[in-house]
Amino acid sequence: MGPIRGLKKRKKAEKKVDQNVFASAASSLLSQPEPLDWWDDFSKRISGPLSESKNLKKFESVFKISRKTFDYICSLVKEDMTARLSSFAFSNGEPLSLNDMVAVALRRLSSGESLSSIGDSFGLNQSTVSQITWRFVESMEERGLHHLQWPSTEAEMDGVKSKFEKIRGLHNCCGAIDITHIIMNIPAVDPANNVWFDREKNYSMILQAIVDPEMRFRDIIVGWPGSLGDSLVLRSSGFFKLAEEGKRLNGKKLQLPDGTDVREYIIGDTGFPLLPWLITPYQGKGLSELQVTFNKRHSATRMVAQMALVRLKEVWRIIHGVMWMPDKNRLPRIILVCCLLHNIIIDMEDEVLDEMPLSYHHDSGYRQQNCESVDKTASIVREKLSLYLPGKLPP
């Protein structure tokens, strides 16, 4: 299976979602909560190291999400998870409920523990854990994709741009782009695996993400091998084609005092090319004071993309660290679902998110890439922006 591109057209997933669906579903869940004893019963099944946790009775300590968010996720996948008869059962023969199955899948994705470890903790064999997790992933691909979409209205995009501007004053900015590597442990003796061998001598798969000011993923592409540079991954994405054709980032322009029009744009680090719709920092030594100041603004604003990828990997630890012999056809779909779950937590305004500590590195050990590709028009626009932002652009 080829790379998954964010918001790629699919028969079901690309249908426009009624804006009231999300609110009504959440409201329904709040008015009709699951039986209060489900978690009490489920937690009693937990054994092994997990059972020794001092916070075992705290739902959030096991699943890293609130009960409200958990219930909403259950409502999304209920039809698919319960449509097919199954023989999923605990070791005592008791069948798994919808909540049980979602709990198993979320624990697998959020802990990154092995199938056998999850099975031992919950009283299941590892085959059952694998089947349940994959059924959940397949369902979320279809049912949750409306949580990852590019702003569809001018009003929504205006809100995004306004929040970006409040960070450090970048006008008309619509997103921040970054790339991270999902590291894999795969056989080096197989020549077919060489394509996954990246410049830092790891076998990895790339995730490219464009993020809004609230760390929400707005567009992703996943599945390309780690041997490819950031610039090449970008140029291979559907987003690049749409932006180049004027079908993306084609909203209201910013008119500078000297009459220059600045189209909507995203920002990225020096690993990306400087384009009319992708503004990167100044490179090299001997930068002017204005250029240094611009870079500081740019870096502070771009931080939301770095933080989003850090949080993604820290919350959904199945893609954190080194993955042991992953199925390279299934892995992109697992990463996509982790991104959907990341966005759902934000959309649900889950307070658990605020309690989680963050590091500042989503790609530890990876050096900054540098792309020398510079569009002349974009270079002029960047220079004028660096003058405009501190109020030094003459009319």
Q: Cβ-count burial of 215 within 10 angstroms (0-12 exposed, 13-18 middle, 19+ buried)?
A: buried
DSSP conformation class of 181: E
Tokens describing residue 116: 């056998």
Tokens describing residue 215: 């760390």
Amino acid at 61: S
- Number of domains making up the chain: 2
CA angle, residues 21, 312, 152, in degrees to nearest 5? 40
Does 9 map to a domain?
A: no
Rounded Cα gap, residues 355 and 242, in angstroms? 37
Tell whether 320 and 346 lie within a shared domain. yes
Residue 5: its H or E element: strand 4-5
pLDDT of res. 9? 43
User: Which of 114, 143, 172 is at the close of a domain?
Assistant: 143
Tell whether 237 and 327 lie within a shared domain. yes
Does 72 map to a domain?
A: yes
Does 232 map to a domain?
A: yes
Range of the domain at 69: 18-143
Does 394 map to a domain?
A: no
Q: Report the number of secondary-structure helices (H) and strands (E) in the chain.
A: 13, 9
pLDDT of res. 30? 43
pLDDT of res. 160? 98
User: Which of 143, 161, 181 is at the close of a domain?
Assistant: 143
Tokens describing residue 391: 């109020």
Which regions in the chain score pLDDT beneath 70?
1-37, 48-57, 85-86, 354-360
The radius of gyration of the chain's CA atoms, rounded to the nearest angstrom, is 23
Tell whether 159 and 286 lie within a shared domain. yes
312 CB contacts (<8 Å, ≥6 apart)? 180, 217, 319, 338, 339, 342, 362
Tell whether 226 and 315 lie within a shared domain. yes
Does 74 map to a domain?
A: yes
Tell whether 76 and 109 lie within a shared domain. yes
Tell whether 314 and 208 lie within a shared domain. yes
User: Which of 143, 170, 186 is at the close of a domain?
Assistant: 143
Tell whether 224 and 272 lie within a shared domain. yes
Contact 342, 312 (CB under 8 A): yes
Rounded Cα gap, residues 280 and 267, in angstroms? 6
Contact 276, 265 (CB under 8 A): yes
pTM of structure: 0.89
Tell whether 158 and 38 lie within a shared domain. no
Does 393 map to a domain?
A: no
Tell me, rounded to whole angstroms, the distance of Cα 22 from its chain centroid: 19
Q: Which of 379, 157, 161 is nearest to 276 (CA)?
A: 379
Q: Which of 27, 25, 13, 33 is nearest to 99 (CA)?
A: 33
Tell whether 175 and 79 lie within a shared domain. no
Tell whether 94 and 202 lie within a shared domain. no
pLDDT of res. 45? 78
Does 171 map to a domain?
A: yes
Q: Pairing mode, if any, of strands 265-267 and 173-185?
A: parallel
Tell whether 210 and 85 lie within a shared domain. no
Does 350 map to a domain?
A: yes
pLDDT of res. 374? 96
Tell whether 139 and 168 lie within a shared domain. no
